[in-house]
Amino acid sequence: MLLEDERAAVCEYARRMTADGLVVGTSGNVSVRSGDLVAVTPTGVDYDVLTPGDITVVSLDGSVVDGELRPTSELPMHLTVYREAADPEGAPVAAVVHTHSVHATAVSTLVDEVPPIHYMLAVIGPSARVASYATYGTPELAEAMLAALKGRRGCLLANHGTVTYGKDLAAAYHRAQQLEWLCRLWLLARSAGTPALLPQPEIEHIVTRLRGYGQPPR
């Protein structure tokens, strides 16, 4: 099977999105790039019954290379990330996660950027912008998302959800989780009063510190 490992990973993380409450039903989508090919979730298929054979493989121009099912309607967003997004540190962009997570979507209706409620905002970048609203699945939404991603590894989509990317699915998914957690934290604090926010220089300082975070490769 073409891109067998990548298709299996897409299935695994699609199911994780449901289990972790980042999507409901068949909403949201996941993709992985390998060379000039992309394995992506199909449209309208319950993630609980998704198998690697259900995952569609497309080229970077959107043409279906392998698979019987139509790819997600948000394919323009995924392909725009792979073709045009640039990681701030030059890391490869090899996976994209799009969620409809509740707290992040709620925040996308309130502000233009995620408020710096916690230093973990730095996993996205100096800030996490909210892309202006456009109808799902359209080039206009992909363009709005790309503008919000400039110098960032993720963003919110107004009245819609989130998009994050990474060098692999684990990295992209971790950022989606952190973005949802940050938004939940801010909404909780805001419901109780006026949250104290971190100054922007501190977030930028943490961005730099995170570059050396974790264990060195073995």
Which domain range does residue 88 map to? 4-210
The tokens for 136 are 């799902």
CB count in 10 Å sphere of residue 37: 17
pLDDT at residue 69 greater than cutoff 60: yes
218: in domain: no
| Domain containing residue 53: CATH number | 3.40.225.10
Cα 115 to chain centroid distance, Å, stands at: 18
DSSP 8-state code for residue 66? E
103: in domain: yes
Banded pLDDT at 26 (limits 50, 70, 90):
confident
Tally of domains within the chain: 1
Q: How far is CA 143 from CA 80, 81, 91, 203, in A?
A: 8, 10, 22, 26
Contact indicator for 119, 185 with CB cutoff of 8 Å: no
Tokens 């100054």 found at: 199
Banded pLDDT at 213 (limits 50, 70, 90):
low
What is the per-residue DSSP string for 129-195? BEEPP--TTSHHHHHHHHHHHTT-SEEEETTTEEEEEESSHHHHHHHHHHHHHHHHHHHHHHHHS--
Average pLDDT on 4-11 reads 98
96: in domain: yes
175: in domain: yes
- Flag whether the pTM goes above 0.85: yes
Q: Which helix (H) or strand (E) holds 197?
A: none
46: in domain: yes
217: in domain: no
Catalytic residue among 12, 74, 143, 180: 74
The torsion angle over the Cα atoms of residues 112, 144, 165 and 65, rounded to 10 degrees, is 160
When the pLDDT of each residue in the chain is averaged and rounded to a whole number, the result is 95
Rounded percentage of the chain residues whose pLDDT exceeds 90? 94
**Active-site residue 143, yes or no?**
no
